[in-house]
Chains A and B, each alone.
Chain A
Amino acid sequence: MNNESPIIRESLAQQSLDILRMRAESLSLAEDEETTAETLGLLLFRLGEEWYAVPIAGVREIINDFVLTPIPRVPEFIRGVMNVRGEIVSVTDIAVLMRIASDGHRFERELPAAIIVRTELCVSALVVDEIGDIVEVARESVEPPLATLDRSQVEFISGSVYLDGRLIGIVNLDRVLEPIGENS
């Protein structure tokens, strides 16, 4: 039925048009930033025995002390939500998501550190075993992800870089932070 409510269709179309345009604008801006910068800022963090990094552009803040509220029946890698100054932020256990052995977070006794990261679509706090330094690496030193990574892991890693003899995987935030439950 094409003509049941032209006005509503129009306003909806208009709204989605707005959203798309806004996204397009911010995407094109982000593109500009990245291509002009020759270095890439990375925040390092440890999971178990390995070191990983998130692009600093995607980091909003670091939280050292938070109260976790578990949410029932969510995917295993979602630990729950926390209250960041009145804003509700999901808590993602990135080690579980990427199937990496970590120290195992003892949420009851000890609060782990969390990095609040954001993408175009969403914000989440990644719990990690230890937060490391912020480093600047040359963009051209970033290599594709290790071929030995298995498929399920490789989608979460956008590239890797050698730092002090350690191979550091750069987390692909767009993949890690996909909105959950959108289609269900």
Chain B
Amino acid sequence: MVEFDRSAFIKKFQEEATEYLQRLNEGVITLEAEPENRELIDQMLRDAHTLKGSSRMVGLIEISDVAHRLEDIMVKVRDGDMRYAPEMSDVFFEALDTIVFLSESAGADVSGEADIPALLERLAVVAGNGALDEAAEDAPAGPMPEAPPAPAAQSPAKEQKSASKGVKKPSPKKAVHDEETLQTRVQHTVRVRTEQVDRLLNLVSEVVIAQIKDEQRSRDLRSLQALMNETNQLWSRVRTTAMNMAANDSGGFSEELEMLDELLADQRKRLGSIVKVDAEDASRASTVVSDLQEQSMALRMLPVSTVFNTFPRSVRDLAHQFNKDVELEIEGGDTELDKKVLEEINDPLIHIMRNAVDHGIESPAERVAAGKPAKGTIRLAAKQEGDHIIIEIADDGAGIDPEKVRAAAVRKGYVSQTEAKSMSDREASYLIFEAGFSTSAIITEISGRGVGMDVVREFIVEKLKGSLDVTSVLGQGTTFRLTIPLTLAIIRALLVSTGGRTYAIPTASIEETLRIDPAEVIKVEGREVIRRQRRTIPIVHLRDVLGLEAGEVSGRKLPVVTVGFSGHRIGFLVDSFVGEQQIVIKTLGTHLVRVDNVAGVTILGAGEVVPILNVPDLMHHARQLAGMRTRQAAAAKKAESGPKRILICEDSFTTRELERSIFEAAGYDVETAIDGALGLAKLREGLRVHAVVTDVQMPNMTGFELTRAIKSDSRLKAIPVIIVTSLEREEEKAEGIEAGADAYITKSVFNQDTLIDTVERLIR
């Protein structure tokens, strides 16, 4: 008899049980749809049986009992004594959950927390045989019922059959034997602890760093060669003269010059061959290193199905809980992803999934009323695109109402009224990712999206350095699109210098890098912005966000990095661009667990440590900073003179509202009139405005007539008049100026900046 310490194997059992439980959970779902699936029934029977055996082996008798009952049911189903009915699923799941719980408790007394006898009773009822109760009751004290199956066997199903007939053999020796067969099963694969793989990967990243250093050195060598060539050219130009001079001179250096010439030629030759060999070596090494990197990364790659496969079960439970009818479709489960990334995407996926079931999918009645099938569909799909994985979660539910999000965001004070108005629907949808947005009671009005969505953002963007996208069509559904790097270890990054230090910004977050003329920086609402492709981008100094001193700025043009995150764009002014390269991500060490703005560090070729910036943090702080300035500027403006008021005379509704929103966004009070006559009437009634913006072609009174009227009225003529029109012939311009207009803007060059600029110039 061999004595063995059972507790030492509990961990092993837990590991193994996770796999079986996973498969059983999946099996129950599938079996609901295909109760006749013979292969599946056999599989589940084997899994239940194995669980029973191995739990008993490690002394977790209660698990064994539960598994035993599951096995009983499966035997009956297999032998055709009963048919698997969907009603059985609930008690099956209960049993599986209980096993999970018991496995976690690892043999601790849980009689207070879980009612095992009651569960066994229910299982026995399902099995349709109360008499089995007895057998189970004496099982804990009694002998081992049967050994776990020998999974190494070529035909486990056959083995299974004889085993499940109940060969009872009280033999701990048998258990030891099974431990051996468990090991022989592993032939083509090696089970390696994740830490070991991680250590290996750490070493590989060190190699990668060394490789990057090598490449730097090769470049240094080549520039040395270039220097050498220059020296040689210079020398060949002066050589003849020097030789002649030396030959004529009695105490000459002709011999030394001869030698110098030879030495230089020799040096050049040798350096040339070193550079050549080095280049060859470097390119060979770089191939090997990148292969090594790729292969070692592959060690940690697992199919996304390891995470996805838990969802059919949880979606089923959720649907049950919220009284929804939902079908989950899974695609691309075999797409592979770094294990670390997989662990991190589980939580965000659960959040999105829960939201989709709870708030996305409508109740069956609502769906039918809306002309949709009663059963909602959630599609979970993964695919690889380049060095990224795209995961999409699409539901065909109610969708996000951008108007409600806007309203809620304004009420909660996330954005101002004007900001909300100027946001596109798409930008508005992103508001659901704001931290804390979710906890607000208002969220229920905006169909609840946002519950925990900031968590999603945190995981995907901050931890995984991925990106997040949401598109929604009201009434038709919502699609979340997560873009996640394949690996967490190596990324491309732009190195920038600010405040005299170098920082890395992940390239994935960068939209573009620009060099702008200082004159392109416009002040709006106390914020500094630039115009890019018809969009206004706020800009801030990166050093202000990071709290650094001003550094050296070279050149007249300002380097700007624009980054985009969840629909917002911000330009960060830096001192200079250093370059773009692959970097190996390292954490800040064990002491600094989480630091604002800094996601980690990387070590450059020269051993220099460079912080990697955390883009969401930067955006957040940049917006806070800009917000502070806006409030200060707004307060200053108000203290000065109160808001400026503009009268807009325009017959076209669209143009009128467009102009109104532009001025309101810039902090103006806006009055409108639908034609010149009404506008003039308002002014004559005593409406005090700082400027009049008018169209030309309007009913009743044209813009020119209005201008003339204003300019000929002694009380009104001081008011600047800006004519905005589609007429752009010179004669018309002349007519406008002749009428006394202060500015004339044609609609073809019309944009919000020229309009605001013009008005601001005129009223100051």
Contact = CB atoms under 8 A, between A and B. Distances in A.
Do they bind each other? yes
A92 B590 CA distance: 13
Given A86-B603, A88-B609, A74 B96 contact: no
Interface stretch (B76-84, B593-601, B665-673, B679-687): B593-601
Contacts of B209: 86
A90 B591 contact: yes
Contacts of A86: 206, 209, 603
A122 B590 contact: yes
Nearest to B209: A86
Nearest to B611: A71
Interface stretch (A49-57, A98-106, A129-137, A176-184): A176-184
Interface stretch (A4-12, A34-42, A152-160, A161-169): A4-12
Interface string A114-136: 00000001111000000000000
B314 interface: yes
A1 B358 CA distance: 13
Interface string A1-38: 10111111111011001100000000000000000000
A64 B291 CA distance: 38
Nearest to A14: B14
B589 A124 contact: yes
B46 to A, nearest CB: 19
A10 B18 contact: yes
Contacts of B598: 71-72
B453 to A, nearest CB: 17
B354 interface: yes
A89 interface: yes
A72 B317 contact: no
Interface of A is mostly: mixed
B594 A7 contact: no
Most buried by A among B96, B346, B354, B609: B609
A3 B588 contact: no
A9 B96 CA distance: 13
A144 interface: no
Given A4-B314, A88-B588, A69 B354 contact: no
Given A9-B100, A10-B100, A88 B595 contact: no
Contacts of B314: 3-5
A10 B596 contact: no
A89 B588 CA distance: 7
Most buried by B among A82, A88, A179: A88
B590 A7 contact: no
Most buried by A among B96, B318, B593: B593
B317 A3 contact: yes
A81 interface: yes
A1 B321 contact: yes
Given A1-B321, A7-B22, A71 B100 contact: no
Contacts of A121: 590
B593 A69 contact: no
Nearest to A181: B594
Contacts of A184: 594
Contacts of A78: 592
Interface string B601-616: 1010001111100000
B607 A83 contact: yes
A179 B591 contact: yes
A150 interface: no
Contact of A17 (B104, B346, B546): B104
B43 interface: no
A138 interface: no
Nearest to A184: B594
A110 interface: no
B590 A72 contact: no
B588 A14 contact: no
B595 A74 contact: yes
A81 B100 contact: no
Contact of A122 (B547, B589, B610): B589
A151 interface: no
Nearest to A178: B591
B674 interface: no
Given A5-B350, A6-B97, A10-B103, A180 B609 contact: no
Contacts of B310: 5, 7-8
Contact of B546 (A67, A73, A89, A179): A73
A117 to B, nearest CB: 10
Contact of A88 (B21, B313, B586, B596): B586
Contact of A10 (B21, B548, B591): B21
A17 B18 CA distance: 15
Interface string B99-132: 0100110100000000000000000000000000
Contacts of A88: 586-589, 601, 603, 609
Interface residues of A, number: 41
Contacts of A92: 591
A65 interface: no
A17 B546 CA distance: 39
A70 interface: yes
Contact of A67 (B18, B321, B595, B609): B609
Contact of B350 (A4, A82, A123, A180): A4
B54 interface: no
Contacts of A177: 591
A67 B18 CA distance: 47
B93 interface: yes
A70 B21 CA distance: 49
Interface string B525-538: 00000000000000
B9 to A, nearest CB: 14
Nearest to A10: B100
Given A4-B350, A5-B350, A13-B104, A72 B546 contact: yes
Interface in B199-215: 206, 209
Contacts of B25: 6-7
Contact of B592 (A4, A67, A83, A90): A90
Given A67-B609, A69-B611, A88-B609, A17 B591 contact: no
Contacts of B594: 180-182, 184
B501 interface: yes
Given A4-B314, A4-B317, A123-B589, A71 B595 contact: yes
Contacts of B104: 9-10, 13-14, 17
A152 B45 CA distance: 63
Nearest to B499: A72
A122 B501 CA distance: 27
A87 interface: yes
Given A7-B18, A72-B546, A67 B607 contact: yes
Given A69-B601, A71-B595, A73-B596, A81 B589 contact: yes
Contacts of B610: 69
A160 to B, nearest CB: 25
A14 B588 CA distance: 27
Interface in B295-315: 310, 313-314
Given A7-B21, A7-B22, A123 B590 contact: yes
Given A72-B548, A81-B588, A81-B589, A180 B106 contact: no
Given A4-B314, A89-B589, A181-B593, 20 more contacts: A3-B317, A5-B310, A6-B96, A6-B97, A7-B100, A10-B14, A10-B18, A69-B609, A69-B610, A71-B598, A72-B546, A72-B597, A73-B547, A73-B597, A78-B592, A81-B601, A88-B609, A90-B589, A179-B593, A181-B592
30 contacts: A1-B317, A1-B321, A3-B93, A3-B317, A4-B318, A5-B314, A7-B21, A7-B100, A17-B104, A69-B610, A71-B588, A72-B546, A72-B547, A72-B597, A72-B598, A72-B611, A73-B547, A74-B592, A74-B596, A81-B592, A81-B601, A81-B609, A86-B206, A86-B209, A88-B601, A88-B609, A89-B589, A92-B591, A122-B591, A179-B590
Closest 8 CB pairs of A and B: A181-B594, A122-B590, A72-B546, A90-B591, A69-B609, A122-B591, A124-B591, A4-B314
Interface of A: 1, 3-11, 13-14, 17-18, 67, 69-74, 78, 81-83, 86-90, 92, 121-124, 177, 179-182, 184
